[in-house]
Amino acid sequence: MPTSPSSSAASVPKGARPGGAPADLAAVWAVITGMYQAYPTGDRERIDFFLDPESTIWDSATPALLQGKAELDHVRDNRPTADGGRRESGLTPYGHIIDVFGALAVARYWLRVDYHALPPELVRNTAVLRRGGDGWLIVHLHEDVQGAA
């Protein structure tokens, strides 16, 4: 399990994976990083800008598969209020591997979640994105908390 973010450029897939054109790889990674940049401020509109409204999410906070924005909003609305402990101070995605298959992309990456009063966590993530007329959107996200960083 990686312990710290890498400052290197986009990961280059090895072996039989298709990888992708540099512009596509950068655009997909920009969606991922853009979503996490909006998260600590609680800017739902900005976060949702990167999500297909019908996306499915295995959210780390609930065992149910969330289907669409309404179910995601329900989970968001029922999360414990920030008591200083579980309130995030930063989210850092890193260690990404991205492959593009025409209008679909698969991104695998780590997410370091820093808290104001708790030790950081590492989360393994897989995102599936679809390219449409307005660019790339996340259509599925799978979060898997691995424990303290």
CATH code of residue 109: 3.10.450.50
Per-residue pLDDT reduced to its tens digit, 32-71: 999 999 988 889 999 999 999 999 999 988 899 999 999 9
Q: Which residues contact 147 (CB under 8 A, 6 or more apart)?
A: 121, 122
Average of per-residue pLDDT across 98-111: 97
Asked whether residue 104 is assigned to any structural domain, the reply reads yes
Asked whether residue 14 is assigned to any structural domain, the reply reads no
Residue 41's Cβ-count burial label (10 Å; 0-12, 13-18, 19+) is exposed
| Residue 9: per-residue pLDDT | 42
Residue at token pair 């969330």: 66
Asked whether residue 2 is assigned to any structural domain, the reply reads no
Identify the weakest region by mean pLDDT among 82-86, 88-92, 114-118, 121-125.
Answer: 82-86
Asked whether residue 1 is assigned to any structural domain, the reply reads no
- Whole-model pTM? 0.84
- Please tell me the distance from the alpha carbon of residue 149 to that of residue 66, in angstroms, as a whole number: 26
Average of per-residue pLDDT across 86-101: 91
Asked whether residue 53 is assigned to any structural domain, the reply reads yes
Per-residue pLDDT reduced to its tens digit, 14-34: 556 789 999 999 999 999 999
Asked whether residue 11 is assigned to any structural domain, the reply reads no
> What is the number of domains present in the chain?
1
The dihedral region occupied by 147, where left means phi > 0, alpha psi between -120 and 50, and beta the remainder, is left
- Please tell me the distance from the alpha carbon of residue 45 to that of residue 130, in angstroms, as a whole number: 19
Domain of 121 in residue numbering reads as 22-148
